Amino acid sequence: MDGEKPKFVFSCQRCGRCCERKEEIVIHITDMERWSKEGMIYQVFPHISLVENFQMFTIQMNLEDGVCKMYDMEKKECTIYSSRPITCHAFPLKFNGKNYFIKDKECPGLGDNCMSAEELRDIRDAAKNEYIGEDMMMAVLPVLQSLILKDTTEKSKEAYEKLTDEEKEKLEEMFK
């Protein structure tokens, strides 16, 4: 048992593999709360979007050609590494509510490196918090969507009321 290797050993190589991907980087309410407290929300906000997937909404980090907008390709580093999204913090580990599993078995940080009990606990906590955050988002997003639609509708009404009769006529013609 002494020489037995742990099932999960990981040490981030900061290679950018997790940043250069085709899949979405889901943002959770806890990420946005943390960024607000740290004063980073305005740095991150322009790079996130509310996206509809199968009639469900998620908040995602925008990608450009499969690369996270917060990843600096020249320097090969995340510009918000110390406050990266919980999804990134947990990578490559995932939790499904019952078990942990490796999301990306090709990640170069897996395998031969050492991992302290604290580091293992940290990444497991991040994976579990990501799972919990997904449930929170399912509960909060419909309310958030409703508030956004309400606000947008009110602003549209205000803008419409400021139009001249001629501008209103042109606008109505465009939508016929």
Q: What are 117-156's pLDDT values in tens digits? A: 899 999 999 999 999 888 777 777 667 667 667 777 888 8
Per-residue model confidence (pLDDT) at position 174:
82
CA 102, chain centre distance (Å): 18
Between these two residues, 145 and 42, which has the higher pLDDT value? 42
Phi/psi of residue 49, nearest 5 degrees: -140, 150
101 against 155, higher pLDDT: 101
Strand partners of residue 72: 77
65 in Cβ contact with 57 (< 8 Å): no
Residue 4 has pLDDT above 70, yes or no: no
Handedness of CA 31, 127, 119, 77 (dihedral sign): negative
Contact 140, 148 (CB under 8 A): no
Confidence of residue 2 (pLDDT cuts 50, 70, 90): very low
- Summarize the confidence of residues 155-166 as an average pLDDT: 87
65, 72 Cβ separation under 8 angstroms: no
- Per-residue pLDDT band for 85 (boundaries 50, 70, 90) equals very high
Q: Is the pLDDT of residue 100 over 90?
A: yes
pLDDT of residue 56: 67
